[in-house]
Amino acid sequence: MNLRDLRYLVAVAEYRHFGRAAEACFVSQPTLSTQLKKLEETLGVVLFERSNRRVMLTPEGEQVVQQTQRILVELNALTALSEQLRDPMGGDLRIGIIPTIAPYLLPKVLAPLRKAFPNLKIQLTEGQTANITRMLKHGDLDATLLALPLGEENVEEVALLDEDFVFAVPADHPKAQLAEVDPSDLEGEEVLLLEDGHCFRDQALEVCQAHRGIESKSYSATSLETLRQLVAAGVGVTLIPQLAVPDEVKPSDGLRYIPFAANGQDRPMRTLGLCWRASSTRGELLQDVATLLKGCMNTL
């Protein structure tokens, strides 16, 4: 029995699916299944009822999972405490970040973070909100950088930036020459969105539905970069968070980014923030990290 197998167990218990659990644990499904079978043999207990459609915990499995969750939380707390005692402003700091922030923000804040906290070893995990939130709650991450509100119990949330959305359209779109738009300009437009699981999809869809935009059924993108290419190809229009807008837009890019009116009602935006467990022993450090991030982000 080892800690890796215990983490696999908890993941399957949460996702009720071996494939999704394996993806969340960054291993292949056969590897995860084999290790959990060995764990059952070691414990002498059947943990799962397996079928082709879903995975269910046995009554014994429910009890083992509950105990395992307590073990993992306490182990992560012990590791964090030992790092804090050695160096309150040093050691490993594990941060989860969502894909619609990571490639656009990290290049601009990592250098200031390293300069301000030279003894800190920052470990980054990119993942969708549900995955990195699960990792935060179980102690596998120290903090998460994502869109607020998260709304989880016993989790501190610090707002860092109110980020506007912009309207991205093909260069030959009838609205391409407008200096600014209003949310009502979404009415009747076929709006391309990210695939399920991305919180930005939910935020953009809410804006579209409120202003009679039409969700495109022809394609669900896996990234903002894919959305950008689809818009340039004339497949539809989309919303893009401000941080993802290039500093320089070339005619060859084939699309225009149009801001929403600054004084308009219901201006589409999201709030980015840093979250950590209220019980974290590194709360003071994380508050200092949040202060630095906020300063950096408000100068972008």
Domain boundaries, the chain: 1-86, 163-270
* Per-residue pLDDT, 142: 92
Q: Give me the pLDDT at residue 221, please.
A: 92
Closest by CA to 268, choosing from 176, 149, 179, 186, is 186
Q: How many CA atoms lie within 13 A of 25 on its CB side?
A: 29
State the amino acid at position 211 in one-letter form. Answer: H
Q: Where are the alpha helices (DSSP H) in the chain?
A: 3-15, 18-24, 29-43, 59-86, 102-116, 129-137, 199-210, 224-232, 283-297
∠219-224-225 over CA atoms, to 5°? Answer: 95
Please state which CATH number belongs to domain 1-86: 1.10.10.10
Do the first three CATH levels of 1-86 and 163-270 match, i.e. the same topology? no
3-state SS class at 261: coil
Q: What is the pLDDT of residue 205?
A: 94
Topology of domain 163-270, CATH: D-Maltodextrin-Binding Protein; domain 2 (3.40.190)
**Given the DSSP bridges, would you call strands 143-148 and 155-170 parallel, antiparallel or unpaired?**
unpaired
For residue 7, what are the CA distances in angstroms to 2, 15, 47, 201?
Answer: 9, 12, 14, 29
State residue 48 phi and psi, 5-degree precision: -130, 145
Q: What is the full per-residue pLDDT of the chain (300 aa) written as tens digits?
A: 788 999 999 989 888 888 888 988 889 999 999 999 999 999 999 998 877 667 889 999 999 999 998 888 888 778 777 776 776 677 889 999 999 999 999 999 999 999 999 989 999 999 999 999 988 988 889 999 999 999 899 999 999 999 999 999 999 999 999 999 999 999 999 999 999 989 999 999 999 999 999 999 888 899 999 999 999 999 999 999 999 999 888 888 899 999 999 876 688 999 999 999 998 888 989 999 999 999 999 888
CB half-sphere exposure, 59, CA atoms < 13 A: 0
Rg of the chain (C-alpha set)? 22
